[in-house]
Amino acid sequence: MTADAQAAFASYKDEALAAIASASSEDALELVRVEFLGKKRGRLKELQSLLGQADPEQRPLLGKSFNQVQAEVRGALEERQGVLARPVAAVAAIDVTLPGSQPVIGRRHPITKTMDDFKDIVGRMGFRVATGPELEDDHHNFVALNIPPEHPARDPLENFYLATALAGSGGDDAAVLMRSQTSTVQIRVMEQTAPPVRIVSLGRCYRPDTIDATHHCMFHQMEGLMVDTDVTMADLKTVLKHFATAFLGDDVSVRFRPSFFPFTEPSVEVDVLWRDRWLELGGAGMVDPNVLRHVGFDPEEVTGFAFGLGIERFCMMRYQVTDIRRFFENDVRFLSQF
């Protein structure tokens, strides 16, 4: 009896595994399940009857064989169910020649993340974000910012000029260049907006600087502007101090050094203590009355402050990067750290 039962178990297992493997759909597999594992009329019921016919001393051995066969068939069935449940049609429809689109592969560049953090901080202080063109005219880049023709900042060797003024086209104002500062946006905003004004502009700037660990020919700035009836230097220092501590931490040291810029008066340089040395982050000051007049504001009625901060340098301090060139080398090994 034992030999007959063992042969029946083996035959059942072989037929069940073959049927499971050949099932080509979930519906077909369900029919196999009912046939071989159904509780009422399945073939498993027939094997159970063999156990009842066996001698008492044979039942433990046959019961163990029965359980092993049943477990193996159930395991094969579950595995086949998982295979048939996969979205085969969707996978087959993927065009492997298209660019990859899995979001887990990419992430925000550290410069982009820093700019997003900047927007969040100044947004809490009531500043809105304004944008402007990177290809600028001489008027917005220099003239309206009170930068005279003889100023070194207008030297052709200090800018990326793409076109020069043509005879009879309106003089130097017709020159076209890649903007050297985001201050151009404050002029465009004030030309279109009456006081009060409270904006920041974040974006790329271009200057033919010698590329080294802390300088690049393309860099990012955040320009800030606030104009109202009673804006003071104290307001400027408060905003910049709050901004620096919000981004770099409460223990950061900030200092303001007297300086000169054609578009602000008085003017200051803004420095932050980093790695035991003072690093210049940008310039700031009270908006020069001539700049206010250029855009039609009355300097007797309104005052304002402006600042321009280097985004790369803040990013370098936040992430302990010692060379600005790393941001633009497109080295995945470097960028994957962020």
Q: Distance between CA 80 and CA 76 in Å, rounded?
A: 6
pLDDT, the chain, mean? 85
Band of residue 167 on the pLDDT scale cut at 50, 70, 90: very low
The predicted pLDDT at position 274 comes to 76
For the chain, list the domains and their CATH numbers.
2-92 (no CATH), 110-335 (3.30.930.10)
Amino acid making up residue 323? D
- Residue 166 predicted with pLDDT over 60: no
Residue 191 CA to its chain's centroid (Å): 32
Q: b/e for 34-45, b at 16 or more Cβ within 10 A?
A: eebbeeeeebbe
Say which residue the tokens 């034992």 belong to: 2
Q: Extract the tokens encoding 123.
A: 């947004």
- Segment 222-279, tens digit of pLDDT: 999 999 999 999 999 999 999 999 998 888 899 999 999 999 999 999 998 877 888 8
Give the pLDDT mean for 5-21.
83
Q: What is the pLDDT of residue 287?
A: 97
If DSSP codes are grouped into helix, strand and coil, which group holds residue 299?
Answer: coil
Residue 123's CB is within 10 A of a number of other CB atoms, namely: 12
Cα distance between residue 204 and residue 70, in whole Å: 69
pLDDT confidence band for 8 (50 / 70 / 90): confident
**Looking at residue 23, what is its pLDDT?**
87
Contact between 228 and 299 (Cβ < 8 Å): no
For the record, the structure tokens of 304 come out as 């304002």
User: How far is it, in rounded angstroms, from Cα 323 to Cα 57?
Assistant: 82
Q: Is the dihedral of CA 32, 33, 38, 43 positive or negative?
A: positive
Contacting residues for 294 by C-beta, under 8 A, at least 6 apart: 143, 144, 145, 146, 187
Of 143 and 57, which is predicted with more confidence?
Answer: 143
pTM reported for the whole predicted model: 0.65
* Whole-number percent of the chain with pLDDT over 70: 89
In tens, the pLDDT along 49-84 reads: 777 677 777 777 777 887 888 888 888 888 888 888
Q: Are strands 176-178 and 161-163 parallel, antiparallel or unpaired?
A: antiparallel
Q: Judge if the upstream peptide bond of residue 149 is cis by omega within 30 degrees of 0.
A: no
* pLDDT at residue 100 greater than cutoff 70: no
Residue 135 pLDDT level (bands cut at 50, 70, 90): very high
The pLDDT of 10-29, averaged and rounded, is: 86
What is the structure's pLDDT at 96? 66
Per-residue pLDDT averaged across 24-50, rounded?
78
Q: Is the pLDDT score of 336 beyond 80?
A: yes
pLDDT digits (tens, 9 = 90+) for 119-133: 999 999 999 999 999
- pLDDT value for 330: 85
Q: What pLDDT is recorded for position 337?
A: 83
List, for residues 169-205, the tens digit of each pLDDT value: 344 556 899 999 999 999 999 999 999 999 999 999 9
The packing angle between helices 26-37 and 59-85, to 10°, is: 170
